[in-house]
Amino acid sequence: MLTLDNIKIGIVGLGYVGLPLAVEFGKRYPTTGFDLNMERIAELKAGIDHTLEVSSEELIQAKQLTYTVDPNDLSECNFYLVTVPTPLDNHKHPDLTPLEKASITIGKRLTADNIVVYESTVYPGATEEVCVPLLAQYSQLKFNQDFFVGYSPERINPGDKSHRLTNIVKITSGSTPAAANLIDQVYRSIISAGTHQASSIRVAEAAKVIENTQRDVNIALVNELALLFNRLGIDTSEVLTAAGTKWNFLPFRPGLVGGHCISVDPYYLTQKAQDVGYHPEMILAGRRINDNMGFYVATEIVKLMIQKCIQVAHAEILVMGLTFKENCPDLRNTRVIDIIQELKGYGAKIDVYDPWADSKEAKQEYNLDLIRNVPKKNQYDAVVMAVAHRQFCEMSIAEIKAMTKPKSVIYDVKAILPTEIVDGRL
């Protein structure tokens, strides 16, 4: 019988979600972290985390954590966590391939009384409809008799040093009351903020997917307001500041919505909704607005350049920032790429500078060659402040203006610059 005293944890996927879990569990239980990326395993063994989610000191503290690229090393585990990506395909449909492969990998090694907990974001029902059949097929064990499953949605916020794994309340769930209780105990042993045990796996899955859908819809609202206020000649930032003096006004800001959660999760929910014959109008409307913001920004920049009689074709434009959010190296699903590609479509020459982004990853994912340093001479016809990195916020007005030609455009996507020096912003 599986208890806290004999638990051996196996974690499949050591990215932004899996590694913090592996480190915390590795401080308390025998833990094996598995990832297919050999470079990732090598850097972790060397005490380095390029995602910056875990420090070298924290890696050292996880005394019972080992890393592997060999799935057979998971065979001794009895409590599995699945933290693989759940992306979208080219048609914005959920791509469960990584989840299915992880389930097969575990299923081949599953033994009696084992528990498998999924943390990857999915639509309600996916764990039991997609993953459980694969576990049963490849293990030849019976669900809820020989093995059990659970769902505990990840709540990692990349780059956030205040809201960490251990101080965020963790939702837990299990396929039977006994499994749910044990799963909850396991998480409670590392989560100082405590846990919330949901009544079912489907409730836990739904709770996760609506967290980011709610944020997406709210951001879409302020993005649409920004489009309206631009036509009315009103500064959106001033409007939001004024409205924010009311105690219950929600402080959302306009901007690009990218990353692995907010811009992805709503499509998982809408896919399931359509499967059961419901067309989710508000959620999809929000997605359409947010998906088009990069193209809108690029169009506004081109308009401003034309108004100043700056030839757009062959113009030199500097884009400041590529990651999907500030002070974070995460390039996944960044919508800054929409601005870059649209401006390139007008024939402009684009330089991209981001002190947080990995040059190799930018080249591999987006075929972009990042520049290493910001030029100090008057080089650019336009500068786009796309991401509010700390380094950019600390730049002086003189430093920013030094990069531009006497006749140029400065566009501020994140509203971090003084109004008087910018030509346009959301």
Per-residue pLDDT reduced to its tens digit, 123-143: 999 999 999 999 999 999 999
DSSP one-letter code for 126: H
Cα distances (angstroms) measured from residue 280 to each of 203, 225, 272: 19, 21, 10
Q: What is the pLDDT of residue 260?
A: 83
Average pLDDT over residues 343-368: 95
Residue owning tokens 């979600």: 17
* 3-state SS assignment for residue 234: coil
Q: What's at 355, amino acid-wise? A: P
Average pLDDT over residues 384-400: 93
Dihedral sign of CA atoms 369, 370, 372, 376 in order:
positive
Average pLDDT over residues 396-403: 90
Average pLDDT over residues 166-185: 97
Q: What is the pLDDT of residue 156?
A: 85
CA triple 130-330-415, angle to 5 deg:
120
- Token pair belonging to 212: 């980011």
Give me the DSSP letters along 169-196.
Answer: -EEE-BSSHHHHHHHHHHHHTT-TT-EE
| pLDDT of 119 strictly over 80 | yes
Cα–Cα distance between 20 and 52 in angstroms, integer?
Answer: 10
From first CA to last CA, the distance across the chain in angstroms is 57
For residue 380, give the H/E element and its range: strand 380-385
Split at pLDDT 50, 70, 90, the class of 378 is confident
Q: What is the pLDDT of residue 222?
A: 96
Split at pLDDT 50, 70, 90, the class of 66 is very high
- Token pair belonging to 91: 């048609």
User: How much is the pTM?
Assistant: 0.92
Split at pLDDT 50, 70, 90, the class of 158 is confident
Split at pLDDT 50, 70, 90, the class of 373 is confident
Give 240-295 pLDDT, tens digit per residue. 999 999 999 999 999 999 888 888 999 999 999 999 999 999 999 999 999 999 99
Give 16-61 pLDDT, tens digit per residue. 999 999 999 999 999 999 999 999 999 999 999 999 999 999 999 9
Cα–Cα distance between 219 and 215 in angstroms, integer?
Answer: 6
Check if the beta carbon of residue 354 is closer than 8 Å to that of residue 387. yes
Query: Considering only CA atoms, which of 12, 81, 14 is closest in space to residue 44?
Result: 14
Average pLDDT over residues 331-358: 96
Sorted by sequence, the CB contacts under 8 Å of residue 246 that are 6+ apart come out as none
Give 184-204 pLDDT, tens digit per residue. 999 999 999 999 999 999 999
116 forms beta bridges with 80, 149
Average pLDDT over residues 306-313: 96
Question: Which residues belong to the active site?
Answer: 261
Q: CA Rg, the chain, in Å?
A: 24
Split at pLDDT 50, 70, 90, the class of 146 is very high
Cα–Cα distance between 247 and 202 in angstroms, integer?
Answer: 34
Split at pLDDT 50, 70, 90, the class of 1 is confident
Cα–Cα distance between 319 and 350 in angstroms, integer?
Answer: 7
Percent of the chain residues past pLDDT 90, beyond the cut = 88
Q: What is the mean pLDDT of the chain?
A: 94
Q: What is the pLDDT of residue 259?
A: 84
